[in-house]
Structure 1
Amino acid sequence: MSANHNFNYGSDFLTVSKTIAISKGTIKGVLNEETRRKIKESSAIVEKIALSDKAVYGINTGFGPLCTSMISSEDTKKLQENILKSHAVGVGTPIDDEISKIMLVLKLQALAKGYSGIQEATLDRMIWHLENDVIPVVPKQGSVGASGDLAPLSHLFLPLIGLGRVHYKGNIVSTEEVLKEYGLKPIGLGAKEGLALINGTQFIAAHAVKVVARFHNVLATADITAAMMLEGLMGSAKPFHEGLHELRPYKGNQHVAANIRNLLADSEIVGSHLDCAKVQDPYSLRCIPQVHGASRNAWLHLKETLEIEINSVTDNPVIFSEDLTISGGNFHGQPIAMPLDYACLAASEIGNISDRRIYLSLEGNTDGVPKLLMRETGLNSGFMILQYTSAALASENKGLCFPASADSIPTSLGQEDHVSMGSISGRKALQVIENVERILGIELFCAAQAIDYHAPLKSGKMINAVHDYVRSKVEHLEEDQIMYEMMEKVIEMVKDGTILEIAVNAAKKEGVANTTIFTDLFENY
């Protein structure tokens, strides 16, 4: 891979998209010579402190409430191994290995800044794990998101000292087994290294990386499914007028309104009822820019906050020089725990309003569109029960929206007396997004059925392309059938980004002007 495609840990600016690319191996993360110099200097400072009589937290003292216990220079290295062993107390099923990879990338970026006293060899071994797809197994529960994500990060780095388990060649195996295969020995941790490895917000931040990426797809796809439903239910295009949103110029609202205008452009269906007697639509159609837009603003807030976080030094203590080490609180997860809770609520609202549009599509109040989206109901239940599923998912999301960051339980004998619970914020947000992906899939299924009843009238170019793709995979229905396999197909179209890709490609092909799907503010992360 050419140098132009390398990412320099510690010196280059890390984004969500770059993080995912490094974790997938499409960009190679490296340590350049300047970064290696800083790492060596910081490590040398820590070694000097470890040999001195000056008490510095975590280098020659115990941890947490044991911070007043001095540790001899002979025992400092044993201390670092002990902290990994004693803090690896996570429980529950393992997180996806993709998130474990992202944790490694984020930790490499933070440690390579040169303020942590980490050994060069330790970072090289972390890079080796990524490049050889030997990914530590990390349980999903156990972090309170304050003194770093202590438990998950301990599990992440047990393999450095030859312990723990790893994902390898599709299986979960012991680290010892893999190191033996490669002829490698465990790393001998130096002073402070164990503490540097497990102090930090990389578990929370790794989940936030996935939230930013998946939520972006959800937001863009929600605009598409909403526009399709607007077509199917012959809703008005007036609420998306540019002038209206200039009077209340939130970035998200304006973006969504422009998206809907572009999606509806040249629609024969919209043109067919411009002079109808209907005065206004229900809020779930009329207020799409206000609701989707508010969620987009929340996404943007999380993205901007996360970019600060993943380019920061979040361990403790921070090493500035031999004379200046600071035991502060950069490991505390509150700065991203709260935006994650905000994003969780914002994602839930996308599912909530989508469920309302699904319900509208079943009422039979639109000319030409039958009740329950089938012509002959009674014998047939039609699409009735799909909305039960979307309602169940929407309700589950509401229960998950209680902000984890509103809670705090003191730990470490009161030394860590306020914690963020951000690890729970991240996990909940991903669960909500997964549920919303399913709700949007159901909306897509229902909207495609509603649009069918307006033939031979056509939708706008982008919606036509999406509708044609859905119909290539799932047929129009006029009698009851087992639907769950069809539902899974349309849900997968949403989850894997196919729907967004089809709409974007259609826009490019048709030369749609001013397509805000492509604006830097919301497209690039």
Structure 2
Amino acid sequence: MVTLSVDYLSEIPTQVIISGQALSFADIVAVARQHAPVTISNKALEKIRAARMVIDRLAVDDSKKVYGITTGFGHLSKMRISSDQQVELQYNLIRSHAAGVGEPLTEEVTRAMMVLLAASLARGHSGVHAEIVLTLAEMLNAGICPLIPSRGSVGASGDLAPLSHLALTLIGEGEAIYQGNKLSGEQALQQAGIKPVSLHTKEGLALINGTHLMEAIAVLAIVDAQVAVRSAEVACAMSLEGLLGSHVPLDARIHERRGQVGQIVSATRLRHLLRESALNASHQNCARVQDPYTLRCAPQVIGAVRDAVEYCATIFERELHAVTDNPLIFPDEGDVLSGGNFHGQPLALALDMLAIALAQLASFSERRVYNVIGPHDWEEKGSETTLFLTPHPGLHSGLMIAQYVAASLVNEIKVMAHPASIDSIPTSAGMEDFVSMGVTSAHKLRRVIEQTQQVLAIELLCAAQLLDFRLPLLPGTGVQQARQLVRIHVETLTKDRVLSHDIEALVQLIQSGQIAAIE
């Protein structure tokens, strides 16, 4: 099973070496977000060259029928291509498939795509020349970012349209951003001192037949999702303390009797965040018997999200060792096998599951926000605070609208949690008769993560305000650390002010991993 370190930001490598082996989540984050330099090892170059020798032998033999080498593509695979047309075929493939639309992919997703493509080709089963992989590394190290329209992939037979736009820059066509300027691919390469790639047999197909776009989004998403889960546990502990919730439902014996791993982990962490709580000691003899589910069942719900993230991480980790090209070259046997590793269904299902899990996390958080800005009928008399957590209710609205915003975000998240992978629209004249729509799943997930972070930021804002009302009694050690961290970025609300800036500051705090790292 995959366990991502909560301190992943400090464990990012300063350089990434592509050796033909699997990359790690940290490797992808390093290249995508920290611009770590990329090197291709000699071992990988040997694998690449061995596979290329197989293709070179096939390319001169018109009698053999090999998909994408001596034939056309998709439904056109019935068409034979002579040896003198094979190079033209590769250029035609990239140009014709570069039909994407919509806003460009972000720089971090594009860079993740590039390093994933390079790593896949470097495993020695795609049959490209080493210059392609070396040039991809050069482009990453120079900071050339191909402009890739975000829409156009159905997530099967590879992320064809997006990867074609990436490949255009590689051959000196298309558009790219270099040193903050939008340039033609040719200009960007020229200014960076990089020679455009000249395509040979099979290479256009190898560049665009892969799951690298949905994989890029997935890998970055799993890191952000784990940070979100751990941040949600901190926010939940803050709310529980502020609402004078019972610690009894966190007792280890309860969770051991169910045996769900994520539940046990979440309960353990919540207990640790709540240790040495003066607030808990202050209401040991209160009349309340049970708390609402968003407090009492926190380990069960957040733990289920933890388990879902763990499952998805396993799927994505496997893909980090994959070759998703077609056909695949097996140099030891001299075989070229046509299959379907480009199909995105494993990733599409996991991407949709992750969006559903995060929708639960955000919805769970919003319900606590609603309770935090109470008071509500279930609260014990004397424990409630002023409505909307303002010292001056009536004249001031306090945090009233923060909960509205959270509710709006959760409503949108629920819409986006509808799985894209359950739909299929056949393509290529029926040859590609069942597609994954995994890139749609990926794009939705990016938005779900962003809005989940915003909901959690609102809970941090409201819970910290409620804890201020409880002073001088202090919450558990971890919760107190969280409140103090929030207060570094956002002041206590004493009178009405614009809250958007506060929420954004806390979103950035969550994204930094500092909230998730609290123990």
Superposition TM-score, scaled by structure 2 size = 0.93
Q: Distance in 2 between matches of 1:271 and 1:81?
A: 72
In the other structure, the counterpart of 1:428 is 444
Equivalent residues of 1:256, 1:293 under 8 A apart: yes
In the other structure, the counterpart of 1:43 is 52
Q: Distance in 2 between matches of 1:120 and 1:452?
A: 61
Equivalent residues of 2:28, 2:115 under 8 A apart: yes
What is the 5 A alignment of 1:345-384? 345-365=356-376, 366=379, 367-384=383-400
In the other structure, the counterpart of 1:30 is 39
Equivalent residues of 1:116, 1:315 under 8 A apart: yes
2:139 is equivalent to residue 129 of structure 1: yes
Q: Which moved more, 1:280-289 or 1:166-175?
A: 166-175
How far off is 1:373 after superposition?
Answer: 1.1
How far off is 1:481 after superposition?
Answer: 2.3
What is the 5 A alignment of 1:116-195? 116-195=126-205
Equivalent residues of 1:23, 1:130 under 8 A apart: no
Gaps in structure 2 of 5+ consecutive residues: 1-12
Q: Which amino acid aligns with 2:461?
A: F
Q: Could you tell me which of 482, 486, 506 is aligned with 1:490?
A: 506
Q: Could you tell me which of 259, 267, 282 is aligned with 1:249?
A: 259
Equivalent residues of 1:368, 1:454 under 8 A apart: no
Q: Which amino acid aligns with 1:254?
A: I
Q: Could you tell me which of 105, 127, 132 is aligned with 1:95?
A: 105
How far off is 1:379 after superposition?
Answer: 2.3
Q: Could you tell me which of 447, 456, 462 is aligned with 2:478?
A: 462
In the other structure, the counterpart of 1:516 is none
- Return closer, same or farther for 1:37/1:269 CA change in 2, 3 Å cut-off: same
Deviation string for 1:11-69 (max 9, x for gaps)? 33312112111334565432222221221111111111111020100011110111011
SS at match of 2:515: helix
In the other structure, the counterpart of 1:517 is none
Q: Distance in 1 between matches of 2:209 and 2:196?
A: 21
Q: Which amino acid aligns with 1:21?
A: A
Deviation string for 1:397-448 (max 9, x for gaps)? 0000110100000001101000000001111111001001000000001001
Q: Distance in 1 between matches of 2:485 and 2:14?
A: 34
What is the 5 A alignment of 1:81-480? 81-321=91-331, 323-365=334-376, 366=379, 367-480=383-496
- Return closer, same or farther for 1:436/1:183 CA change in 2, 3 Å cut-off: closer
In the other structure, the counterpart of 1:510 is none
How far off is 1:250 after superposition?
Answer: 1.2
Deviation string for 1:116-139 (max 9, x for gaps)? 101011111111001111121111
- Return closer, same or farther for 1:454/1:230 CA change in 2, 3 Å cut-off: same
Q: Distance in 2 between matches of 1:27 and 1:159?
A: 21
Q: Which amino acid aligns with 1:276?
A: C
Equivalent residues of 2:38, 2:140 under 8 A apart: no
Q: Distance in 1 between matches of 2:400 and 2:288?
A: 25
Q: Distance in 2 between matches of 1:420 and 1:169?
A: 36
SS at match of 1:176: helix
Gaps in structure 1 of 5+ consecutive residues: 508-525
Q: RMSD across aligned C-alpha pairs, in angstroms?
A: 1.6
How far off is 1:483 after superposition?
Answer: 1.9
Q: Which amino acid aligns with 1:252?
A: G
2:86 is equivalent to residue 76 of structure 1: yes
Equivalent residues of 1:80, 1:194 under 8 A apart: yes
Q: Distance in 2 between matches of 1:183 and 1:6?
A: 21
How far off is 1:172 after superposition?
Answer: 2.1
Q: Which amino acid aligns with 1:453?
A: F
Q: Number of residues paired by the alignment?
A: 500
In the other structure, the counterpart of 1:512 is none
In the other structure, the counterpart of 1:522 is none
Equivalent residues of 2:145, 2:177 under 8 A apart: yes
Q: Distance in 2 between matches of 1:184 and 1:481?
A: 52
How far off is 1:233 after superposition?
Answer: 0.4
SS at match of 1:66: helix
Q: Distance in 1 between matches of 2:73 and 2:91?
A: 13
Q: Distance in 1 between matches of 2:443 and 2:95?
A: 24
Q: Which amino acid aligns with 2:336?
A: T
Q: Distance in 2 between matches of 1:180 and 1:469?
A: 47
Q: Distance in 2 between matches of 1:398 and 1:24?
A: 28
Q: Which amino acid aligns with 2:109?
A: I
2:516 is equivalent to residue 500 of structure 1: yes
Equivalent residues of 1:10, 1:111 under 8 A apart: no
SS at match of 2:504: helix
Superposition TM-score, scaled by structure 1 size = 0.92
Q: Distance in 2 between matches of 1:12 and 1:220?
A: 30
Deviation string for 1:53-106 (max 9, x for gaps)? 201000111101110111111111111111110001110001111111100111
Q: Distance in 2 between matches of 1:483 and 1:98?
A: 29
Q: Distance in 2 between matches of 1:24 and 1:384?
A: 36
In the other structure, the counterpart of 1:9 is 18
Equivalent residues of 2:54, 2:334 under 8 A apart: no
Q: Distance in 2 between matches of 1:487 and 1:22?
A: 29
Q: Distance in 2 between matches of 1:36 and 1:482?
A: 56
SS at match of 2:516: helix
Q: Distance in 2 between matches of 1:281 and 1:99?
A: 42
SS at match of 2:113: helix
Q: Which amino acid aligns with 2:330?
A: F
Q: Distance in 2 between matches of 1:363 and 1:276?
A: 18
Q: Distance in 2 between matches of 1:205 and 1:386?
A: 34
Q: Which amino acid aligns with 1:31?
A: I
